[in-house]
Amino acid sequence: MSVKLKGRDLLSIADLTEEEFWELLEFAKLLKLETLAGKRHEYLKGKTLAMIFQKPSTRTRVAFEVGMYQLGGYALYLSSNDMQLRRGETIADTARVLSRFVDGIMARVFDHQDVVDLAKYGSVPVINGLSDEEHPSQVLADFLTIWEKFGTLKGLKLAYVGDGNNVAHSLLLAAGLVGMDIAVATPQGYEPKSFYVEKAKELAARHGSSVQVLRDPVEAVTGANAVYTDVWASMGQEAEHEERLKIFKPYQVNPELMSHADKNAIFLHCLPAHRGEEVVDEVADSPQSAIFDEAENRLHAHKAILALLMGD
């Protein structure tokens, strides 16, 4: 393993160079092949990961917990109810204390500043398991899946249709980093933040790809090799659900929209999916759908992150 990532934090895709991004993907692929062949790994033997969950999750918890086990380590689940954060302890104090007990921290939070502060005040690697700004660990699994399906990333086109949220932000950065074209289609007022669009454009200019933010989902999907969507109302936006259903209805991924993509295009979704809203069963369960391969790849991508950041 390279030592370039050892001891580092992973809060954003922007924390990685192209070389480091590929190192994570290549190591994830190797770990997957060896794990499926029955090989055991001890990269994190005797190490402990603290997992802070302000938001509940199926895939994030299982992938990191099983990943630590398969790497020979131990994962400690900490919900908001289990911690003194609920009673007013600061993130800074929490980071300092946990750093005395564990070898790494993964945090799934509402406010991105929380993972920033964990990294600032802690002395062990901090991994962003999801924040309101980004979802880097998910997007590594997404790009591993695309790479597996097409054998390359550079020169492909990714279309993202729906809410310009944390997943869209990380997809934009990753696409720019590897030279993949990306087109994001959102309703007016729901675009990804300009910071991420501009950063993605800077990266794309260096790597020979393009970044588009559009209104028309058909235009975004036309010729795409991968079509991606996410829920229209994320955790914490439940009060907006009914209004968002009306606004986002034209952005549903259905067979008609998929017909504009490349004939060999795959469908991606970070899950959980609200079937009948952002995607219909005919797409989610179709031969084009790679959503369960993508979910499985969370385990292998997360193991690569853990091993390279926390391993000796």
The model's pLDDT over 109-147, given as tens digits with 9 standing for 90+, comes to 999 999 999 999 999 999 999 999 999 999 999 999 999
**Residue at 226 is within a domain:** yes
Asked if residue 212 and residue 151 are part of one domain, the reply reads yes
Number of domains in the chain: 2
Confidence of residue 3 (pLDDT cuts 50, 70, 90): low
What whole-number distance in Å separates Cα of residue 130 and Cα of residue 308? 19
Confidence of residue 95 (pLDDT cuts 50, 70, 90): very high
Asked if residue 151 and residue 72 are part of one domain, the reply reads no
108 annotated ligand-binding residue: yes
Cα distances (angstroms) measured from residue 171 to each of 35, 166, 177, 200, 222: 27, 9, 10, 9, 18
Asked if residue 157 and residue 122 are part of one domain, the reply reads no
Residue from 12, 9, 1 nearest 193 by CA: 12
What whole-number distance in Å separates Cα of residue 24 and Cα of residue 297? 12
Number of H helices, E strands in the chain: 12, 9
pLDDT at 303: 98
**Active-site residue numbers?**
108, 135, 138, 230, 270, 298
User: Which of 25-34, 40-49, 85-94 has the least mean pLDDT?
Assistant: 85-94
Confidence of residue 194 (pLDDT cuts 50, 70, 90): very high
pLDDT at 235 over 90: no
- DSSP of 135-200: -HHHHHHHHHHHHHHHS--TT-EEEEES---HHHHHHHHHHHHHT-EEEEE--TT-PPPHHHHHHH
94 annotated ligand-binding residue: no
235 annotated ligand-binding residue: yes
**Residue at 6 is within a domain:** no
271 annotated ligand-binding residue: yes
pLDDT at 298: 98
Mean pLDDT of the chain: 96
Domain limits at 44? 13-135+298-310
Asked if residue 149 and residue 112 are part of one domain, the reply reads no
Asked if residue 167 and residue 23 are part of one domain, the reply reads no
Tokens of 154: 């550079």
Asked if residue 303 and residue 289 are part of one domain, the reply reads no
Asked if residue 78 and residue 35 are part of one domain, the reply reads yes
194 annotated ligand-binding residue: no
54 annotated ligand-binding residue: no
Give percent above pLDDT 90 in the chain.
92
**Residue at 155 is within a domain:** yes
Write the pLDDT tens digit of every residue in 252-293: 999 999 999 999 999 999 999 999 999 999 999 999 999 999
Average pLDDT over every residue of 200-214: 98
Residue from 187, 166, 165 nearest 250 by CA: 187
Asked if residue 21 and residue 112 are part of one domain, the reply reads yes
Asked if residue 187 and residue 87 are part of one domain, the reply reads no
Give the CATH number, domain containing residue 100: 3.40.50.1370
Asked if residue 194 and residue 209 are part of one domain, the reply reads yes
Asked if residue 108 and residue 44 are part of one domain, the reply reads yes
Confidence of residue 2 (pLDDT cuts 50, 70, 90): low
234 annotated ligand-binding residue: yes
**Residue at 64 is within a domain:** yes
**Residue at 160 is within a domain:** yes
Write the pLDDT tens digit of every residue in 39-48: 999 999 999 9
Asked if residue 227 and residue 119 are part of one domain, the reply reads no
Give percent above pLDDT 70 in the chain.
97
**Residue at 275 is within a domain:** yes
**Residue at 2 is within a domain:** no
